[in-house]
């Protein structure tokens, strides 16, 4: 175990130097980097906000099932199937039919089925029906129908969330999908997430509807911005989808903040027609089911430009413009988890983390020197090498360092010497029975090998499981602990062994104490 070929030595030190060199990349000046690699600081160290958002697919399913009512009724009417007792609930529709066989043929037809489209990807229809009794059926979304709704809502939500956050202009945000219903948002450096939370908490579904008592399309009663009860037609003249831009502006007459918007061509046509036909009437601007304002239509607006006023502060106008620009969210988002760390706490954490790392490191080094003298020096050299390699690998992976991650490094320092302790203690035992020092070292290394491996694999298993199940900062701990074990094995079995061999072989079998 003490004989190294030249090529082996070369490879060991090459690996060591290359990896260790990466650790120095973290010392580069910010604007003057040779290589864009560094360890990232977690939000708990640099400060910032972590938000976990969840889409509410129940409300979406409700909305989608309602949108099926008219097409289904039309399908039944067009094909002369009589129905009655048509009921709408949150997740399904129930009705009585006189001809279920005919309905089945139409409902489960793969060709041009507009009511119940076939999803090729899942080989399933969007909707399914169940017979409750002889002529009564229950229509609901199939498993894959629900999945499709959910997935597209999630994708769309991520896109909108990204637009809104980019618009606010925070630095380097991270926006990721988490599971089937959640979006993870990390906003480094953000001190107060309330504004972002407000912006993400609104779906921002905007539509323009007439104030009218005409119940042709149904009406609903909403409160105006002044608290006045107004009957609003359910017919949507124009929705937020037709908006291409929205900006906050100040109205010159009374210095009131407003939002001016620009419509696309189709939107401008629709808006122009509606305002021409309804001059003198009031037009309600409805955002998420609440009236923002309901001004009079004084003259036709055909330019495709308009303005929304509503007693806004300038901040509110800015935020509304931002929401309208970014588009509506398909469902409301709920913040299910939030963690915000202020920048000064992050700095304090870095300081105390680094201090305890240095102190722990020095204590271990002094102890090893005291205990093993020259071999303690070897173990300590291996330990320093170990740290450099650990930081180097973290740099190569561009891993995120968290406060528990720093704890993982300190713990690695404490536990890393174990490998060398095992080996040295074994050598001590061998020295008792073995006359040749070289032989004693040799068999010490080879006998301790299995133990060292077994002992480290167990900790590695714990680290891997922690990585798989841990979240956020704890994951950072698992990463440093896990990589620490690998670098420990390398430094103990290659670096320290080679250094030991130099000492032992040079002593020429004379008086070595361990």
* Residue 84 main-chain phi, psi, to 5 deg: -155, 180
Q: Which two tokens stand for residue 113?
A: 């089925």
Interacting stretch for other proteins, rule CB under 8 A, among 29-37, 122-130, 347-355, 437-445? 347-355
Q: Which of residues 393-412 bind other proteins (CB under 8 A)?
A: 403-404, 406-407, 410-411
At closest approach, how far in Å is the CB of 286 from other proteins? 23
Interacting stretch for other proteins, rule CB under 8 A, among 91-99, 158-166, 360-368, 436-444? 360-368
Which among 502, 363, 495, 504 is positioned nearest to 419, based on CA atoms? 495
At closest approach, how far in Å is the CB of 344 from other proteins? 7
Rg, the chain, Cα only: 35
Q: How many residues bind other proteins (CB under 8 A)?
A: 70
- 282 scored as a contact of other proteins (CB under 8 A): no
- 471 scored as a contact of other proteins (CB under 8 A): yes
Considering only residues 223, 397, 457, 502, which one is a binding residue for other proteins as defined by CB under 8 A? Answer: 457
At closest approach, how far in Å is the CB of 404 from other proteins? 6
Considering only residues 81, 175, 236, 335, which one is a binding residue for other proteins as defined by CB under 8 A? Answer: 335
Contact status, residue 22 vs residue 395, Cβ threshold 8 Å: yes
Distance, CA of 250 to CA of 82 (rounded, Å): 57
- 415 scored as a contact of other proteins (CB under 8 A): yes
Contact status, residue 494 vs residue 12, Cβ threshold 8 Å: yes
For other proteins, which is the closer residue by CB, 56 or 249?
Answer: 56
For other proteins, which is the closer residue by CB, 107 or 493?
Answer: 493
Query: What are the C-alpha distances in Å from 187 to residues 42, 191, 226?
Result: 11, 9, 37
Q: Which two tokens stand for residue 440?
A: 């004693």
Alpha-helix runs per DSSP H in 341-472: 343-396, 403-433, 437-469
- 52 scored as a contact of other proteins (CB under 8 A): yes
Q: Tell the burial category of 269 from Cβ atoms under 10 Å away from its Cβ (0-12, 13-18, 19+).
A: middle
Considering only residues 466, 486, 503, 505, which one is a binding residue for other proteins as defined by CB under 8 A? Answer: 466
Which among 396, 397, 365 is positioned nearest to 383, based on CA atoms? 365
Distance, CA of 130 to CA of 70 (rounded, Å): 20
At closest approach, how far in Å is the CB of 460 from other proteins? 8
Contact status, residue 196 vs residue 165, Cβ threshold 8 Å: yes
- Catalog residues that contact other proteins under the rule CB under 8 A: 44, 52, 54, 192, 194, 334-342, 344-345, 348-349, 352-353, 355-357, 359-360, 363-364, 367-368, 371, 403-404, 406-407, 410-411, 413-415, 417-418, 421-422, 425, 428-429, 450-451, 454-463, 465-466, 468-474, 477-478, 481
């Amino acid at each position: 175990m003490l004989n190294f070929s030249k090529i082996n030595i070369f490879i060991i030190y090459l690996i060591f130097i290359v990896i260790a060199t990466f650790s120095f990349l973290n010392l580069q000046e910010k604007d003057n980097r040779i290589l864009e690699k560094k360890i990232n600081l977690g939000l708990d160290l640099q400060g910032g906000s972590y938000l976990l958002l969840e889409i509410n697919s129940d409300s979406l399913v409700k909305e989608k099932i309602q949108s099926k009512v008219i097409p289904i009724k039309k399908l039944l009417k067009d094909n002369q199937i009589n129905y009655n007792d048509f009921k709408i609930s949150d997740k399904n529709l129930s009705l009585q039919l006189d001809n279920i066989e005919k309905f089945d043929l139409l409902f489960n037809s793969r060709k041009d089925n507009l009511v119940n489209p076939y999803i090729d990807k899942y080989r399933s229809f969007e909707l399914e029906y169940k017979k409750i009794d002889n002529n009564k059926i229950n229509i609901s979304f199939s498993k894959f129908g629900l999945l499709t709704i959910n997935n597209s809502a999630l994708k769309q939500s991520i896109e909108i969330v990204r637009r809104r956050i980019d618009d606010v202009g925070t630095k380097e945000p991270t926006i990721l999908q988490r599971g089937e219903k959640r979006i993870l948002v990390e906003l480094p450096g953000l001190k107060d997430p309330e504004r972002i939370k407000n912006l993400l908490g609104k779906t921002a579904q905007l539509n323009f509807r007439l104030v009218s008592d005409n119940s042709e399309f149904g009406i609903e009663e909403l409160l105006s911005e002044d608290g006045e009860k107004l009957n609003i037609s359910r017919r949507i003249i124009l929705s937020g989808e037709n908006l291409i831009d929205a900006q906050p502006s100040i109205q010159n007459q009374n210095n009131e903040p407003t939002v001016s918007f620009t419509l696309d061509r189709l939107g401008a046509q629709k808006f122009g027609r509606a305002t021409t036909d309804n001059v003198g009437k009031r037009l309600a601007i409805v955002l998420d089911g609440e009236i923002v304002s309901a001004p009079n239509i004084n003259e036709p607006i055909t330019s495709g430009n308009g303005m929304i006023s509503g007693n806004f502060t300038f901040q509110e106008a800015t935020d509304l413009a931002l929401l309208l620009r970014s588009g509506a969210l398909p469902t409301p988002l709920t913040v299910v988890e939030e963690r915000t760390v202020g920048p000064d706490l992050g700095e304090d954490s870095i300081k105390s983390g680094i201090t305890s790392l240095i102190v722990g490191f020095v204590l271990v080094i002094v102890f090893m020197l005291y205990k093993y003298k020259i071999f303690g020096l070897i173990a300590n050299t291996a330990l320093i090498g170990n740290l450099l390699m650990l930081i180097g690998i973290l740099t190569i992976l561009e891993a995120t360092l968290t406060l528990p991650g720093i704890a993982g490094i300190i713990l690695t320092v404490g536990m890393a010497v174990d490998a060398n302790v095992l080996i040295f203690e074994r050598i001590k035992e061998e020295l008792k029975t073995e006359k040749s020092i070289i032989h004693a070292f040799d068999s010490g290394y080879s006998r301790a090998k299995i133990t060292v491996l077994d002992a480290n694999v167990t900790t590695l298993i714990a680290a891997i499981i922690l990585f798989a199940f841990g979240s956020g900062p704890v994951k950072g701990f698992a990463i440093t602990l896990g990589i620490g074990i690998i670098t420990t094995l390398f430094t103990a079995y290659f670096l320290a062994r080679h250094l030991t061999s130099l000492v032992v072989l040079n002593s020429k079998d004379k008086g070595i104490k361990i």
